[in-house]
Structure 1
Amino acid sequence: MVTDTSALIINVTLWVLISFSVLTWTVILLKGGQYWRHAVGNRLFEEKFWSAASLDEARLRMDEAGGCPLYRLASAGFQVFDSGNGNGAASLKHRGDLVATLERKLKRQLERESRLSDIGLTVLASIGSTAPFVGLFGTVWGIMHALQDISRSGKASLEVVAGPIGEALIATAIGIAVAVPAVLAYNFLMRRSRRKQQALEIFAEDFLHLVAAETAHR
């Protein structure tokens, strides 16, 4: 039999792995739901925004898709656009300053959206890389103490060895079972995050060109 101390260590290891598993699936469900809502919201936003005849109409229509990343990006851009238009007649210098300020504002918003999108992904990466080693620690600890007990008892039959070592090996199996979903989910969600960020960058560039064209005609 594995000693009480060894059993305690293995049990703690298993509970840590179970906690990792719960945390992994919590992040998967939350991030999966978040990305799905963002994808639906972004599609609706683009439908409303690009079907408008002017920037003023687009501003009104995009409120129907409020809360999505594209909406937040456009709102940040319109804040700069509105503040620039409030200065009255625009000189060439003012128009250049407006476009430069808008570009900086959109860039900062893109960085903010990227950070929001990646929240939780580092947790999946960490669990995917550490869970097998946590399980391996439990296995090594259990086998070490099992062999010590066997040595003290003087019995080395298969029946005596198989039980405690088999119990210790469970920790490694659970560690791998916890790590696999975390790694797969991380890779999948990271790809979704990067695609979403690319869509935001494309919209930011198009929005910047629209504002530059709009100010050039005023």
Structure 2
Amino acid sequence: MPSFVAQDVVIDITLYTLLFFSLITWTLIFFKMWQFAKNNYYNKQFNAAFWDAPDLNAAEALPADKAKGPKARIAACGFTWLAAMRQPESSVRLKFRGSPAELLEQALRKQTQEEQRKMESGLTMLASIGSTAPFVGLFGTVVGIMHAMHHISESGSASLDVVAGPIGDALIATAIGIAVAVPAVLAYNFFLRRAKHLRASLENFVAGFLHVAFGDVTNKE
């Protein structure tokens, strides 16, 4: 009897773990969908306003409602760096030693990596759930089958009616594990692809920013 109780507890813990994994998966899916949609909207809005500006000063002075999103933060990083470089004491600071264009590019790349990190946050969790959920379910199934075998041995009968029910109940854990893993894997692949597209878009913006800012940087040397 104690062993049966322990096995029941293990099976319950397994199922609750899979339920917890499922809640995390769908929470991340809805959050990442909102995050990508929001940033995509802000990037399009800022990109149009930035490239319609007559010069960098006008682009820097864009209203706050248009200066949102990853591209806006990258541009703000560039404007901050340009303003700091123009200060008289910049010539004696180590972080301004070197080619202005290369230093500006380094600052923009660093901010781009930070934006990429934000976009990829949560994807590791989805990948982990997608890879481990089936094994968690399989573990529950193995324990369930062991429980069923003990029950069958105690009943002294191996008829189909006695065997099919407990074994079928044990296989539910594997089915739930697969059902949890599939959305996690699909979501991971989808959002990873979206993150790669976003990174390419940010890198193109950085290249464009460097192109228009390079003349301004060299003129301040």
Q: What's the TM-score, normalizing by structure 1?
A: 0.91
The alpha-carbon distance between structure 1 residues 96 and 56, as it changes in their structure 2 partners (threshold 3 A), is farther
2:76: which partner in 1? 75
Whole-angstrom distance in 2 between the partners of 1:197 and 1:123: 20
Task: For 2:138, give the aligned amino acid.
Answer: L
RMSD: 2.0
Among 194, 202, 205, the residue aligned to 1:203: 205
Whole-angstrom distance in 1 between the partners of 2:215 and 2:109: 19
Task: For 2:39, give the aligned amino acid.
Answer: H
Q: Show structure 2 runs of 5+ residues with no match.
A: none
Task: For 1:195, give the aligned amino acid.
Answer: H
> 3-state DSSP class of the match of 2:157?
coil
Whole-angstrom distance in 1 between the partners of 2:80 and 2:12: 56
Whole-angstrom distance in 2 between the partners of 1:206 and 1:64: 22
2:18: which partner in 1? 17
Residues 1:166 and 2:162 aligned together: no
2:177: which partner in 1? 175
The alpha-carbon distance between structure 1 residues 41 and 180, as it changes in their structure 2 partners (threshold 3 A), is same
Preserved CA contact (<8 Å) 1:143 1:168: yes
Task: For 1:45, give the aligned amino acid.
Answer: F
The number of residues matched between the two structures is 213
Whole-angstrom distance in 1 between the partners of 2:51 and 2:123: 32
Q: What's the TM-score, normalizing by structure 2?
A: 0.90
1:64: which partner in 2? 65
Preserved CA contact (<8 Å) 1:49 1:62: no
2:40: which partner in 1? 39
Shift of the alpha carbon at 1:108? Answer: 1.0
Task: For 2:187, give the aligned amino acid.
Answer: A
Whole-angstrom distance in 1 between the partners of 2:76 and 2:143: 56
Preserved CA contact (<8 Å) 1:80 1:98: no
Higher mean alpha-carbon deviation, 149-158 vs 33-42, is at: 149-158
1:69-97 Cα shifts (integer Å, max 9, x gaps): 00110000111111223349x9xxx8963
Preserved CA contact (<8 Å) 1:73 1:106: yes
1:9-50 Cα shifts (integer Å, max 9, x gaps): 111111000000000000001111011000000000001000
Percent identical residues = 47
Whole-angstrom distance in 2 between the partners of 1:179 and 1:209: 45
Preserved CA contact (<8 Å) 2:39 2:69: yes
Shift of the alpha carbon at 1:208? Answer: 1.1
Q: Show structure 1 runs of 5+ residues with no match.
A: none
